Structure 1
């Protein structure tokens, strides 16, 4: 005998089925969404991996070009062939392209020039500190701040723990909210300058396009045969402001069509003749490029990959010294001075 269903319980089974269907649908939707996200992540990983390999391929092509430049003339490097700053674009199958730009990697202020010596015995280099101060002042950094930054940079890289006049060692950084110690070795990247006393964000923004961190404790190996008019500031800083930026630009305009053959010819040009220049600075300008930079942008579909490679041309064949992955708009990809 069937028990009569009370009025208040009628439709409960249907409601239970509907709730079950709703829960099952929600679970299915969540599973499909996770599957969609997983597929997107996998596709992005594959695309990024393809972009990375494309960038490395462009890097290898750039190194071949550098090798050809070096072999073409082992005594000097000039702007012949319009290689400096030129962008080469290679379309890729399926859409997208890889763009590569080759430029002189030594035409910048080497922040590691504030010290000299061997890696285990680095000491302050006065001429490098003075050039750094001159560069910052030419870019509008007040002299007191510029001097503090340059001296702190020397203390950051030297191997001792004794602060120089106006510099800063471990004790200056240990009292902060996030205590740390000085590197006591060469700068790996110019971004390390951000932590130095007196280095304000606006100071860093002004000087960053002119800086580099070559893996050597040497005065900036500026090649006067490839220095562009827009980089005349570097020449002015090299002589520690004894030559205005406009005067330095005029000196570059007097460059022979085939370039200077040696530093002696360069120092005899225009207003450079007779300037009181220290001996180590007299030997600083180069007529041959030893460091090249390859900027690569790989754009495949919706994936973009950026790479900056530093090439050491002091050896034959040339070799990769550093590789850095960067963001879009990174200053090394868009350096206006070049």
Structure 2
């Protein structure tokens, strides 16, 4: 009899332990589901805040560029500290000229074979650097930029061959500069140095806006001179830009500055412009679940701004 009572007590204790385990599991499941629901709600809310802010940003950009003959840093779109405030969110907005870079999609020609090209001196200040072969001014500037970033002549050739394999005449092959990451010679360190200097825009004609080049783009500006001028000689050129920018590449004020600074001929002037049609808009917002960021590639044409591409990502909590 005592043995049966002991067995019954043991069964009851096992059932209680099982029920407690099930209760803890169910409680954890519903807690996780509740947290997932809150996170999903926060993500969706932030997404629509950012997309709503993008509409405002497009309108702001269109109004900033309306009736403007050039694009420069003195315009409203380039002013820092812009924000959109709603009842339950604050959205920070900033713009960046997407044409203050070298568009790799302008290299959309079939590279000529090295043995069919004349030998041209390497565009560098170091006369001891071995020569490379180039096809046109866009390739010359691209090669000169790679020289500035420490690529060797062999690496320049290899990278050119890899780009050739991706590009087809009349077709834009690259949608983002990150697609260069697995290419030969482009390790992480070099990619981070290339990132602010290169871009992948849906245009086959180069139009680097000299009015919006920053000092971090000096290696690119030097490459436009085919490396015949040192970077410290080009800093005064950027500093001498008028508040409203140069009207065009043949602006007498620009030509006078080039003569005053005793700079060599601007070999890559065909790649330059003073107007821009592509811009990056960066929008940020934050809620109790963390921060969120939207980057949109915008296209300005005929006083209207369209969206070419957008990327939304979670950037974490500000308390982290």
TM-score, length of structure 1 as denominator length: 0.77
Q: 1:216 aligned to 2:203?
A: yes
Counterpart in 2 of 1:153?
163
- Report the RMSD for the aligned CA atoms in angstroms: 2.6
Q: 1:269 aligned to 2:257?
A: yes
Structure 2: distance between partners of 1:198 and 1:226 = 29
Specify the SS of the correspondent of 1:304: strand
Structure 2: distance between partners of 1:277 and 1:261 = 17
Counterpart in 2 of 1:79?
73
Structure 2: distance between partners of 1:207 and 1:274 = 25
Counterpart in 1 of 2:26?
31
- 1:308 to partner: Cα distance: 1.0
Mind listing any 5+ residue stretches in structure 1 that lack a counterpart? 117-122, 161-183, 330-338
Structure 1: distance between partners of 2:59 and 2:33 = 39
Q: Which one of the candidate residues 38, 42, 45 is aligned to 1:47? A: 42
Counterpart in 2 of 1:109?
102
Q: 1:298 aligned to 2:298?
A: no
Counterpart in 2 of 1:283?
270
Structure 2: distance between partners of 1:153 and 1:276 = 28
Specify the SS of the correspondent of 2:63: helix
Asked if 2 retains the 8 angstrom alpha-carbon contact of 1:108 and 1:211, the reply is yes
Specify the SS of the correspondent of 2:184: coil
Counterpart in 1 of 2:240?
254
TM-score, length of structure 2 as denominator length: 0.81
Aligned length: 290
Counterpart in 2 of 1:137?
147
Structure 2: distance between partners of 1:237 and 1:144 = 18
Counterpart in 1 of 2:230?
244
Change (3 A) 1:327 1:247: farther
Structure 1: distance between partners of 2:219 and 2:13 = 76
Structure 2: distance between partners of 1:267 and 1:282 = 12
Structure 1: distance between partners of 2:105 and 2:153 = 20
User: Deviations along 1:264-313, whole A, 9 cap, x unmatched?
Assistant: 123553258884555xx323221122111101122111232222111111
Q: Which one of the candidate residues 297, 301, 305 is aligned to 1:318? A: 305
Counterpart in 2 of 1:127?
137
Specify the SS of the correspondent of 1:186: coil
Structure 2: distance between partners of 1:321 and 1:258 = 28
Asked if 2 retains the 8 angstrom alpha-carbon contact of 1:186 and 1:217, the reply is no
Q: Which one of the candidate residues 175, 178, 185 is aligned to 1:188? A: 175
Counterpart in 1 of 2:4?
9
Asked if 2 retains the 8 angstrom alpha-carbon contact of 1:145 and 1:199, the reply is no
